[in-house]
Copies of this chain bind each other. A is one copy, B any other.
């Protein structure tokens, strides 16, 4: 799961795996069909920096397949990931000319892009889409703020558990998986990327993952494939509200 498709450039968006949150041609609205002629796909290789902070952004789009990270870097090299882009996530911001963060592909990825100016025109004519975008931005704001709690107040172990439960949840959403039985998924991030997300070092991440495994909160097959026998146990480890956390 979460693996990349071989999407052809001519593929119609009806077949686009973007469904739930995406603003993408025809997936949610016929207005977007008007943009068909300015829609295109972009392909990026794993490890490639898709967008550099400060770049002119001439497009907006959605992730079709693959995974990317939004990161900020200080002059001395310290880096903090500020967001994770999974399939269906929106990239770019109407009304802004330049990128605020680096976008780095962590796997091969495909994005469904629109040239920015026509997209904005369409947005202005279509309150429905503008509202959708506001909603999505508010979701991201909530996610960022939840993450502030993780970064500011949680222990290393809680941080790892929080990250795992977020990935598990998103993976289930994307793949129509259930969250009541055991949950399995591939970690889309290296230990170092996890550390950058959590404000930790990669050594600490490794130790805490091992600890969670030893305490049977999770099982590992290889280094990347995780099974969570009991999600509520994991949420408890994350310090989240005991219930309700897995909804939405």
Contact = CB atoms under 8 A, between A and B. Distances in A.
Contacts of A41: none
Interface stretch (A57-65, A91-99, A108-116): A91-99
Residue of A80, A93, A145 with most partner-chain B CB within 10 A: A145
Interface string A122-150: 00100100110111011011101111110
A239 interface: yes
The size bracket of the interface on A is 35 or more
A189 interface: no
A247 interface: no
| Count of chain copies | 2
Contact of A80 (B82, B138, B152): B152
Contact of A148 (B74, B124, B148): B148
B138 A96 contact: yes
Given A138-B137, A152-B199, A239 B74 contact: yes
A153 B95 contact: no
Given A72-B145, A138-B137, A153 B82 contact: no
Residue of A93, A135, A148 with most partner-chain B CB within 10 A: A148
B137 A241 contact: no
Contacts of A148: 72, 80, 82, 144, 147-148, 151
Contacts of A127: 124, 127, 130
A24 B124 CA distance: 21
B134 A130 contact: yes
Contacts of A96: 138
A101 interface: yes
Contacts of A33: none
A218 B97 CA distance: 36
A198 interface: yes
Contact of A124 (B131, B137, B141): B131
Contact of A134 (B72, B75, B95, B100): B95
Given A124-B127, A152-B199, A198-B152, A134 B94 contact: yes
B145 A82 contact: yes
B72 A149 contact: yes
Given A78-B153, A79-B153, A153-B199, 7 more contacts: A72-B146, A72-B149, A74-B239, A83-B145, A96-B138, A100-B142, A124-B131
19 contacts: A70-B145, A72-B145, A72-B146, A72-B149, A74-B239, A80-B149, A80-B152, A83-B145, A95-B138, A100-B142, A130-B130, A130-B131, A134-B137, A140-B141, A147-B148, A148-B151, A151-B152, A151-B199, A152-B199
